[in-house]
Amino acid sequence: MALCAGILGAQGTGGVNALSQRDKPYVVMISFDGFRADYLQRIGLPNFDRVVQRGVRSVGMIPVFPSKTFPNHYSLVTGMYSETHGLVGNRFWDPERNAAYSMSDTVAVLDASWYRGEPIWATAEKQGLVAASFFWVASEAPIGGVRPSLWKKYDGRVANEARVDSVLSWLAMPADRRPHMVTMYFSTVDNAGHASGPLSPQVDSAAKHLDGALGRLLDGIDRLPDVKDRTYIVLVADHGMSEVGPRWYVGLDTVIDMTGVQLAEGGTLANLHVKGGAARAAVLRDSINKRMKFGRAHLRADVPASLHYNKDPRIGDIVVVMNDHWTIGMASRPPREGGTHGWDPTYPNMHALFAASGPGIAAGKVIPTFENIDIYPWIAELLGLKPAKDIDGKSGRLKRLIEAAQK
């Protein structure tokens, strides 16, 4: 796969670290899509355990709502809830643009105007640190005119071992060009969870495969004398996974008249854009709640505050929030037996992996569950960067949890 150069305008580094920044540490953040927090204890994973034994893990990490891939990967690197950064689902309708966004739409994915906030790679690049990304949501788009200096266009066919070897080659570059902020992504566990469910042997096998890839990365970093003692390894996931099947399904078109109703995205929640104004939306909300027992419909303004999901018009006029296991959509398209995600982030099954090791992090500690919006300001602290304004995460909050565990 060809390497892409992502420097646009004068805001990036041009692929060269500022002289004043070259003594900074390195951060390698790896996303294991769909890696539920409890997989660490359930599955024997010696290389994941290497990171845990060298550093900390959390009981769990709480995703943003909806607990889906695109919203949460972008929250991890911006410190924002989905209503703030604009990725309110893997797919959504923007009534102001009169256009749809979908994670499978290459044109939309590359269009920076869909994204709000400042990703950590842009924060680094704008402050003189070279950044790199081997796949991450939004890393292909020039957000604020900046991409990582090194980046890859997403191609799920690229072998996990090849991803690791590319990252190791970046970390072996001369110090002036070596990236200090690296993100990388693996989908193997998520794919297995969707196909076979979170408790399946297929998920165990997928996790063990990625444990081998992680070991390859850790061994490679240990062989880099200029990097190994200055590197933070941060293991994260975007969400957990729970069982689904046709027995836990509601056909929306059997509950309400869908005339003038646009279903932007279904599944564990439904975003409905309604023609006919607020009065009709209220009638439809009440009809759904009268006829459906396994979830709750809300007008956008009335979505529970705990979900942080009511500011953005990209969110539907009506938001249907389903109970764990239950999904909603058109009656003709029930899910197969397997797994999915997207429910209320407070459900333990939605909680995600977090573990980290590196300079100054005490070994073998466990911290409480925390929200993933605190990852961005914490990484900014590790790298001595000034975080972007107007984020939802709080500087110092994750740092204090880690420091408290070390006492």
Which active-site residues does the annotation give? 69
Amino acid 144 reads G
Chain position carrying tokens 């279903």:
263
Instruction: Enter the DSSP assignment of 279.
Output: H
Angle at 154 between CA 353 and CA 312, to 5 degrees: 65
Bridge-based pairing of strands 150-151 and 4-5 is: antiparallel
Burial 68-80, CB ≥16 within 10 A → b, else e: bbbbbbbbbbbbb
d(CA 257, CA 252): 9
Bridge-based pairing of strands 26-32 and 231-236 is: parallel
Torsion angle of alpha carbons 210, 216, 219, 225, nearest 10°?
A: -120
Q: First vs last Cα of the chain: how many Å apart?
A: 46
Cα separations in angstroms, 319 against 27, 94, 300, 328, 345: 37, 15, 6, 11, 15
d(CA 122, CA 128): 10
